[in-house]
Chain A
Amino acid sequence: MSSTAETATHHLALQVEDLHVSYGPKRAVDGVSLEINEGEIFGLLGPNGAGKTSTLSAIEGLLRPDSGSIRIGDVDAAANPTAAKARMGVQLQSTSFQSNLTIREIVRLYAGLYGVPLSRAEIEDLLADIHLGEEASKRFSQLSGGQQKRVSLLIATIHNPPLVLLDEPTAGLDPQARRQLWHRIERLRDTGRSILLTTHSMEEAQAVDHGKLLTVDTPAGLIEKHKDDPRVRKVAHGQVTLDDVFIGLTGSELRD
């Protein structure tokens, strides 16, 4: 979904055009194009293996695309990857940090990597802000899943990037932790950041299948656009929901 489609000024935070990514003979992303405006949360929704993480990895610079272009703001990511990476914050699907470092040291390391010198007091303040002031001396592996996600999000945004990429940020979280995290994501959006996230949650995203962008709209728009699609009608029980649109468009069979 594109939850802020009505953004007044359309400065692009991210522009992806005709992106193709392959793993050997297997095509993971097939001609994806998307644009994200400033202050917009843009979700990529799709079943496992649909190419969401591959799309994100190409934008993050972890994968070299076969073809296509990626612009982060006004920076061409292929021509200037360092400048592009400085303009984005990333939370990977499964994040880990050096096991012998404390949370405080991890924050200090990543602040340094993004060129944001932070004093010990500033780091303590940042950790207190995410309710982890007491955990500053712990190792990352000693934190709960929700606490780990909060640290990851803090590090992804430590340099106030215009674009934040979140790969399944709410996966594995209980409802309270999920709500807290969404509150933080919305706060980011409200301060002008653009957010691209992948998710399995119906309320959060676009529909992507096999690396091909199938449809782009708000959740209500998606339902309206596809409620009469025979594939959607076939799986709907009564009133069409976003779940029905998702399953109808991407198929109901299980994926790896």
Chain B
Amino acid sequence: MSSQTSAPPVHPPTLSGILRALLEADFTVQLRNGRALTLTFLLPLVLLYGLSAGKRRAQLGGPIVDVALALTLGIASIAILGYTASVARDRELGVFQRLRVTPAPTWTIMLSRLAVQIVSMLVMSVVVLVAAAVVENVTLDPAAYLLTLLAVIFSSAVFLGVGQALVGLIKSPDAVNAVGRLSYLPLFALGLFAHSTIFGTTFETIARWSPGGAVVTLLAGAMQPAAWSADTWWALLASVFYAVVFAGIGIRWFQWSTR
């Protein structure tokens, strides 16, 4: 039973080839996940319409804040409901372990997943901004548009960081799903009152510096570059802080397998 022929030489894959293969697969998976995609596009649009039709809209901060709130809801939905659920499910199934035995460095596996989420958030943001022009008469000049999309990327880092922390700290997909839903509303709901004194100034301050509040302030500031203020800078700093802390927790305690 001796060998008949020798195994051919092995050519290691290139990093660009690995990333291309991962991105192609992850985008395909994302596009096929129709229900989640619909939800993440529909929720911010429904909120935008609801806020524009609401009687107390001025108390929440006005049309720009309405759009910022809708964007925040969309970003939080994609990150905390979509991203965490898919990572927790694939980890449970062993998908990551299968990928880890290939030459793909582990960071490329996560980078591809995150890139797909960020692109989804950017597409959702464009849809919301187009809707905002119709519903709220909020139109942005090209510079404001670009700055807003840049702010969306910073904001996505906050909520993807929160999502990463959730899947880092919790192993079971069911528990991740449940805790995600529980934490998603407070994270976003606090942001609703970041520019409102309906519940008093103390609550407003807490809301403003919550992850959701910081993101709303940042997005609202980016939509009006001329009115960019010290508050917007602080919101940007707070967003970076939250992104680093949550992502740090998520990376530190993340396990590729539940077994």
Residues of B within 8 A of A189 (CB): 1, 3
Residues A74-97 near B (CB distance < 8 A): 82-83, 85-88, 90, 92, 94-97
* A100→B4 contact, CB < 8 A: no
Q: Which of B86-109 contact A (CB under 8 A)?
A: 89-90, 93-95, 97-105
In the bound complex, residues from chain A placing their C-beta under 8 Å from that of B95 are 96-98
Question: Per a CB cutoff under 8 Å, which of B22, B24, B33, B104 touches A100?
Answer: B33
* Contact (A98, B25) CB under 8 Å given A4-B3, A6-B2, A38-B3: yes
* Interface-located stretch among B7-15, B51-59, B220-228, B235-243: B7-15
- Contacting residues, chain B, for A150 (C-beta < 8 A): none
Cβ of B20 within 8 Å of any chain A Cβ, yes or no, is yes
The answer to whether B22 and A192 touch across the interface, beta carbons within 8 angstroms, is no
CB distance from A132 to the nearest CB of B (A): 18
Q: Give the total of A residues in contact with B, Cβ under 8 Å.
A: 49
Flag whether A108 is at the interface (Cβ < 8 A). yes
- Does A224 touch B at the CB level, under 8 Å? no
Shortest distance between the CB of B35 and any CB in chain A (Å): 12
Q: How many residues of B contact A (CB 8 A)?
A: 39
Residues A120-150 near B (CB distance < 8 A): none
Q: Is B172 at the interface (CB under 8 A from chain A)? A: no
**Binary CB contact string for chain A from 107 to 127 against chain B (1 if under 8 A, 0 otherwise):** 011111111110000000000
Closest to A3 in B: B1
Interfacial chain B residues near A4, Cβ < 8 Å: 1-3
| Given A95-B98, A114-B103, A192-B7 contact (CB < 8 Å) | yes
Cα distance A168–B97 in the bound complex, in angstroms: 16
Interface segment among A14-22, A157-165, A201-209, A227-235: the answer is A157-165
Docked-complex contact B2 and A39, CB < 8 angstroms? yes
A39: nearest chain-B partner, CB-CB: B3
Q: A105 near B28 (CB under 8 angstroms)?
A: yes
Whether B138 is near chain A, meaning CB under 8 Å from some CB there, is no
- Is B21 on the interface with A (CB-CB < 8 A)? yes
Contact of B29 with A by CB under 8 A: yes
A31 at the interface (CB under 8 A from B): no
Most buried by A among B3, B6, B13, B105: B3
With A101-B29, A115-B13 already in contact, the answer to whether A85 and B4 are too (CB < 8 A) is: no
Q: Which residues of B contact A192 (CB under 8 A)?
A: 3-7
Complex Cα spacing A1 to B20, Å: 41
Whether B18 is near chain A, meaning CB under 8 Å from some CB there, is yes
Contact among B3, B21, B22, B100 with A7 in the assembled complex (CB-CB below 8 Å): B3
Q: Residue on A with the closest CB to B13?
A: A115
> Which residue of A has the minimal Cβ distance to B257?
A62
A62 engages B97 (CB within 8 Å):
yes
The answer to whether B101 and A105 touch across the interface, beta carbons within 8 angstroms, is no
Contact pick for B4, options A83, A88, A90, A190, CB 8 Å: A190
A114-B13, A115-B12 known; A160-B97 Cβ under 8 A: no
Interface contact B100-A61, CB-CB below 8 Å: yes
- Whether A190 contacts B103 by the Cβ 8 Å rule is no
Known contacts A114-B13, A115-B11; decide if A98 and B6 are in contact (CB<8 Å): no
Chain B hits for A87, CB < 8 A: 10
**Interface assignment of B17: CB less than 8 Å from any CB of chain A:** yes
User: A99–B7 Cα gap in the complex (Å)?
Assistant: 32
Q: With A92-B97, A96-B93, A97-B98 given, is the CB distance from A113 to B29 under 8 Å?
A: no
**In the complex, A8 Cα to B98 Cα: how many Å?**
34
Instruction: Decide yes or no: A96 and B7 within 8 Å by CB, A112-B24, A114-B103 being known contacts.
Output: no
| B102→A96 contact, CB < 8 A | no
Q: Which one of A85, A105, A117, A160 has the highest number of Cβ atoms from chain B below 10 Å of its Cβ?
A: A85
B98 contacts A96, CB within 8 Å?
yes
Partner pick for B21 among A40, A85, A94, A113, CB 8 A cutoff: A113
Q: Among residues 173 to 211 in chain A, which have CB atoms less than 8 Å away from a CB atom of chain B?
A: 189-194
Could you tell me which A residues sit within 8 Å of B by CB distance? 3-4, 6-8, 13, 38-40, 60-62, 82-83, 85-88, 90, 92, 94-101, 105, 108-117, 159-162, 189-194
Given contacts A116-B13, A190-B5, 9 further A-B contacts (CB under 8 A): A90-B101, A92-B97, A112-B21, A114-B13, A114-B103, A115-B13, A115-B103, A189-B3, A192-B5
